[in-house]
Amino acid sequence: MALGADASRVRMFDSKGLIHKGRNDLDERKIKYAVEASDLEFEQAFEGADVFIGLSKGNVVSETMVQAMAARPIVFAMANPDPEITWEKATAARKDVIMATGRSDYPNQVNNVLGFPYIFRGALDVRATGINEAMKLAAVKALADLAKTPVPDIVNMAYNETALSFNANYIIPKPLDPRLLETVSPAVARAAMESGLAQKPIADWEAYSIALSQRLGHDNQLMRAIGSKARKDPRRVVFADAENIKVLKAAQIAFDENIAYPILLGDPKKILELAAESNIDLEGITLIDPKSDEMEERRNMYGELYYKKRQRRGVNYYEVFKKMKDRTHFGCMMVEMGDADAMISGLSRTYPDTIRPAIQIIGTEDGVKKIAGMYIMLTKRGPLFLADTTVNFNPTAEEIADITLMVAREVRSFGITPRVAMLSYSNFGSSDTKEAIIMREARVLVKQRSPNLVVDGEIQAIMAFNKEIIRENYPFSELAMDGDVNTLIFPNLSAGNIAYNLLQEVGGADSIGPILLGLKKPVHVLQLGSSVRSILNMVLIAVVDSQSKNPKENIIGNAHHDVVPDTLTNEVIH
């Protein structure tokens, strides 16, 4: 109404019917919408109507009503959990309908989280004495403008989209859009100042924008988006080191928050004792002891399959069945056979002892000669992807090119456009040592195989992040274009390992990894001594990795059901 709608053209209904002047039960909020006519039925009000706004109850609007509306009708059916008319019925009734609901599983979710946090943030930051209509309208216009701007990759990733843009199915920003704080709050603060309610006006708007960005914590945006994506399609994750209190805590959180369906490998008695000591609720979570008599048939089946894979690779028949009692080998076989979707291991064993069974049992993706290890560093300037940091000691130019392309694909799976710097101690031919030449040649190979990938090198790390110096001295470089470097490729394992450790310990960055790249199915390794938070982050990565590698796989989607196939349900302890 504040934007100019004509009250005389509004027909408002409550639970008793049309609000008209003949009623004697109207309060001051309703009386201003009362009309003269008293015989208009709810269904009749839809004839020729431009807009329907529902804040009532589910399923009170029919397809026939929507069909009776004017061209390009706007239908905001915002009753929850069941809207006045479902998205499916409304869009089936009218192809030209512009539809919104309050639900997150449909396009155009009208969510109060889009407004109130940012309105209060802006009001509080200028110490406003109240919140007036001008401030609310400023928020409305800021949201409308934001909906028409290009959507960040991280938002597309969080909602399993590829290219959100302003149209009938995207008329309002998504609740996980990180730009909301920096867009709506300043608009509200400015409106408070202009309308005379601000007691502490803002003078430096650029500094205010930076302060808002720091409040939001850009370093956590990626994990918030990954978490949202994981919850939309949880997967079965095997924990090979379940006899550990931190693993049990992470598994409970993952289960309770509908991130994953954990499968815990280990001695059930020991696991349950550990859980009881720390008040960890494992109800509904599957426990399997690979060494138990109940698993003998399963071990034998896995062993036979493993032997077929490795019988000419130094493995004898007796050794095979012994290995199937090992939790990492058993877990890898579960993933390989489709009895689980991903595995996490490594908390209590060495790195080679974890990745060797994964390579032997699951194998590498087609075209991949060597796997690689990547860390995600959550820094104040955003996420950085580092590789190779854990596997290949002194890779050749060809191998570095392979690593670069694997990392770029992984970065894209997180909804982020990779911008790759191939690091060295030299810049664009300033040195002709073997190490510099390898990175130079690797870049040529990458561009031959992926011409559209933004990648350059060899380049020093300090140069890669200083766009002014690049533009001034090396304007030909792809890294001089808009956008910041987010992916770092190292010339050898030593450089990569030292860099991520320094970023973590001295730079204060949180790390996630190592994430194994190049395996056919998701197996990821924990660092020794990983925190509960780190383990949970790795679970999120494993689930999203599984979604990417098996997008059409039929995963059991109810946490109340068994999370292993029927062939296993009688052999597990719940």
Tell me the per-residue pLDDT of 190-206, one tens digit each, with 9 for 90 and over.
999 999 999 999 999 98
Task: Transcribe 365-390 into DSSP letters.
Answer: PTT-SS-EEEEEEEETTEEEEEESSS
Percentages of the chain per state (helix, strand, coil), in multiples of 5? 45, 15, 45
Q: What is the mean pLDDT of residues 442-458?
A: 96
pLDDT category, 349, cuts 50, 70, 90? confident
Of 165, 163, 181, 259, residue with least CA distance to 218:
181
Q: What is the pTM of this model?
A: 0.75
Q: How far is CA 64 from CA 14, 72, 374, 434, in A?
A: 20, 15, 55, 74
Residue spans of the domains in the chain: they are 112-216, 226-363+554-569, 372-513
Q: Domain spanning 372-513 has what CATH number?
A: 3.40.50.10750
Of 295, 246, 249, residue with least CA distance to 564:
295
Which residues lie closer than 8 Å to 285 by C-beta, 6 or more apart? Answer: 251, 252, 255, 261, 262, 263, 264, 574
Q: Summarize pLDDT for 134-174 with one digit per residue, the tens.
A: 999 999 999 999 999 888 878 888 888 878 899 999 999 99
DSSP E strand stretches across 38-166: 51-54, 74-77, 98-101
Average pLDDT, the chain: 90
Q: How far apart are CA 165 and CA 151, in angstroms?
A: 7
Q: How far apart are CA 143 and CA 172, in angstroms?
A: 7
557 pairs with which residues across the strands? none
Go through the chain and tell me how many residues it has. 574
Task: Transcribe 273-330 into DSSP letters.
Answer: HHHHHTT---TT-EEE-TTSGGGHHHHHHHHHHHHHHHTTTT--HHHHHHHTTSHHHH
Of 131, 122, 225, 134, residue with least CA distance to 181:
122
Q: What pLDDT sits at residue 557?
A: 37
Q: What pLDDT sits at residue 206?
A: 85
Write the single-letter amino acid at 367: G
Q: Summarize pLDDT for 304-340 with one digit per residue, the tens.
A: 999 999 988 888 888 899 999 999 999 999 999 999 9
Is pLDDT of 572 > 50?
no
555: left (phi over 0), alpha (psi -120 to 50) or beta: beta
Q: Say what angle helices 245-256 and 532-549 make with each other, to 10 degrees.
A: 50
Q: What pLDDT sits at residue 552?
A: 58
279: left (phi over 0), alpha (psi -120 to 50) or beta: left
**3-class secondary structure, 249:** helix
Token readout for 445 is 């190979």
265 pairs with which residues across the strands? 288
383 burial level (CB within 10 Å; 0-12, 13-18, 19+):
buried
Q: What pLDDT sits at residue 351?
A: 80
Pick the CATH number of 226-363+554-569 from 3.40.50.10950, 3.20.20.150, 3.40.50.970, 1.10.287.70: 3.40.50.10950
Q: Summarize pLDDT for 27-86 with one digit per residue, the tens.
A: 999 998 999 988 899 999 999 999 999 999 999 999 999 999 999 999 999 999 999 999
Q: What angle do CA 465, 212, 412 make, to 5 degrees?
A: 45
Longest CA pairwise span in the chain (Å) = 92
Q: Cβ–Cβ contacts within 10 Å for residue 76, how many?
A: 18
CATH superfamily of 112-216: NAD(P)-binding Rossmann-like Domain (3.40.50.720)
Token readout for 142 is 């800021």
Q: Summarize pLDDT for 536-569 with one digit per residue, the tens.
A: 999 999 999 999 898 854 444 333 333 343 333 3
Q: Summarize pLDDT for 266-317 with one digit per residue, the tens.
A: 999 999 999 999 889 999 999 999 999 999 999 999 999 999 999 888 888 8
Q: Tell me phi and psi for residue 419, to 5 degrees.
A: -130, 110
Write the single-letter amino acid at 562: D
Looking at per-residue pLDDT, the higher value among 221 and 36 belongs to 36
Does residue 100 contact residue 75 with C-beta atoms inside 8 Å? yes
Q: Which of 93-102, 461-470, 531-540 has the highest mean pLDDT?
A: 93-102
Three-state SS letters, 163-212: CCCCECCECCCCCCCCCHHHHHHHHHHHHHHHCCCCCCCCCCHHHHHHHH
Q: Cβ–Cβ contacts within 10 Å for residue 5, how many?
A: 10
Is pLDDT of 93 > 80?
yes
Q: What angle do CA 237, 241, 243 make, to 5 degrees?
A: 120
The reply to whether 112-216 and 226-363+554-569 are identical in fold is: yes
Q: Summarize pLDDT for 394-433 with one digit per residue, the tens.
A: 999 999 999 999 999 999 888 789 999 999 999 999 999 9
CA-CA-CA-CA torsion sign (317, 320, 322, 324) = negative
Q: What pLDDT sits at residue 55?
A: 95
